[in-house]
């Protein structure tokens, strides 16, 4: 059974940094692609970034320069580090995984999802 569990969200101030974690079970992170998405109140889920099976990451244009995705294959965990947080980064952040090597920015390409972790950025 595949399970993704996010953690690390909370209330932060604008300009702060935050690191989110996603622990995977039932999947081997070194062999799959994973992604981060977010959903703000009243908005659709949007792509944040992704990492493929060899550890190459890519990002939404709004996150370039501020976000970094990494993973620890020994811990089967993916991370999202976001710096210079802005109030518009307020959202529930979701971890997702797909059983292929290659990344995608399309949320429909990911069959496995975590429950989300809420990030609130105050101004």
pLDDT values of the chain reduced to their tens digit, one per residue, 123 residues: 999 999 999 999 999 999 999 999 999 888 899 999 999 999 999 999 999 999 999 999 989 899 999 999 999 999 999 999 999 999 999 999 999 999 999 999 999 999 999 999 999
- Is the backbone of residue 105 left (phi > 0), alpha (psi -120 to 50) or beta? alpha
Angle formed at CA 70 by CA 65 and CA 63, multiple of 5 degrees: 25
Measured between alpha carbons, how far is 50 from 6 in angstroms, rounded to an integer?
Answer: 15
Residue 84 tokens, joined: 């210079």
Measured between alpha carbons, how far is 77 from 22 in angstroms, rounded to an integer?
Answer: 5
């Amino acid at each position: 059974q595949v399970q993704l569990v996010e953690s690390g969200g909370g209330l932060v101030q604008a300009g702060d940094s935050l690191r989110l974690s996603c622990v995977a079970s039932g999947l081997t992170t070194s062999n799959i692609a994973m992604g981060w998405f977010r959903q703000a109140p009243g908005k659709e889920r949007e792509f944040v970034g992704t990492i493929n099976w060899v550890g190459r990451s890519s990002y939404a244009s709004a996150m370039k320069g501020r976000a970094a995705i990494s993973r620890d294959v020994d811990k089967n965990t993916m991370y999202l580090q976001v710096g210079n947080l802005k109030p518009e980064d307020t959202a529930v952040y979701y971890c997702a995984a797909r059983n292929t090597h290659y990344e995608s920015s399309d949320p429909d390409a990911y069959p496995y999802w975590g429950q989300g972790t809420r990030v609130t950025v105050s101004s």
